[in-house]
Amino acid sequence: MNRKVLITGASRGIGKAIAEAFAAMGDELFLTCKQSEKQLASFADHLRSEYGVKCSSFTCDAADYDSVSDLFARKIKDIDIVINNAGIAHIGLLTDMSVADWRKVMSTNLDSVFFTCKSAATVMLRKHCGKIINITSVWGSVGASCEVAYSASKGGVNAFTKALAKELAPSNIQVNAIACGVIDTAMNREHLTEEDLSALEDEIPAGRMGEATEVAKLAVMLADSPEYMTGQIITLDGGWI
C-alpha cells in the first residue's frame, strides 16, 4: 500500500507484531524505541529483507518532547498512520509507589501519546487525512488493584483519544484506540508470575491470553476502517471485562 507508518515502542511485543503486519501490507515503516537500538535495527533489517519495504529505525524517547519533535523535524516529513504503542507497567501498592515512579509511568504511557500526536497531527492537518491508533488497556476503563498509575495513565489515553478524535474529525483525521486485555508479551511475563498468568487465564472466557499478532491484525483493520469511524476505544480481551 506504501503508506507511511510510525510505530513507537516497536522493538518487541505488540509494537513488533504491528510493525510486521504493516510490513506485510507493503507499507513504509518508521520504528522507534528508547533503548534497544541494536535489537530494533536488526528487526528493521529483517523487515526490509523479508517484505521488500522501506523501514527506518530510530532511538527516540517517546516520553521526551524534544526527542520526538526532533525526530519529526529531521527524519519524518510525511506520515499517514501513527501507532502509539510505547508503554511500561508498574505493579505495587499506591502507598509504596514513589513520586519518581508515578511520573515515569505517566510520562511513558500518556505524555508520549501527546508528544507524538502533537507532531504527527501537524503533518496530517496539512494533508487533510491520517489515522492515529493508540494502544491502551482494559484497565484504563475499569481500573486494576495494585496498578493505579498504569490504570490512570491508560484512562488518560482513552480520554485523550476521544477528545482528539472530535478535534481532528473536521480535518478527516481519525483517532481510535485498542484496549488490550492480557496479551502474551515479555512485559506481562516480567511483571506477573506463571501462577498469576494461569489464574488470569481461568478468568478469561476465551480461556487464554491474547497474542500480539491479534492486536496487530486489529491495528491493520483500524488503519483500513471507514473514515466515519473515529473516537472509539475497541476492546480486545477474549470477553474478559
Q: What is the mean pLDDT of residues 136-152?
A: 97
Looking at residue 13, its pLDDT comes to: 96
Give the tens place of pLDDT for each residue, 193-223: 889 889 999 999 999 999 999 999 999 999 9
Cell of 59: 532511538
Instruction: Give me the torsion for CA of 41, 215, 102, 204, rounded to 10°.
Output: -140
| Cα distances (angstroms) measured from residue 217 to each of 10, 69, 71, 193 | 15, 29, 27, 27
Centroid of chain to Cα 79: 16
Looking at residue 150, its pLDDT comes to: 98
Cell of 89: 507497567
What length does the chain have? 241
**Which of these CATH numbers, 3.40.50.720, 3.40.50.12160, 3.40.50.150, 3.30.460.10, describes 4-235?**
3.40.50.720
> Which of the residues 51, 65, 150, 228 is marked catalytic?
150
Percent of the chain with pLDDT over 70: 100
Return the bridge partners of 173, or none.
130
State how far the Cα of 134 lies from the Cα of 230, in Å rounded to an integer: 12
State how far the Cα of 241 lies from the Cα of 232, in Å rounded to an integer: 17
State how far the Cα of 202 lies from the Cα of 167, in Å rounded to an integer: 41
Give the tens place of pLDDT for each residue, 173-200: 999 999 999 999 988 888 788 898 899 9
Looking at residue 193, its pLDDT comes to: 86
Active site residue 150: yes
The residues spanned by each domain of the chain are: 4-235
> Per mean pLDDT, which range of 114-118, 196-200, 234-238 is the poorest?
196-200
Tell me if 181 sits within 8 A of 206, measured CB to CB: no
Looking at residue 161, its pLDDT comes to: 99
State how far the Cα of 90 lies from the Cα of 35, in Å rounded to an integer: 18
Give the tens place of pLDDT for each residue, 41-98: 999 999 999 999 999 999 999 999 999 999 999 999 999 999 999 999 999 999 999 9
Farthest-apart Cα atoms in the chain, separation: 51
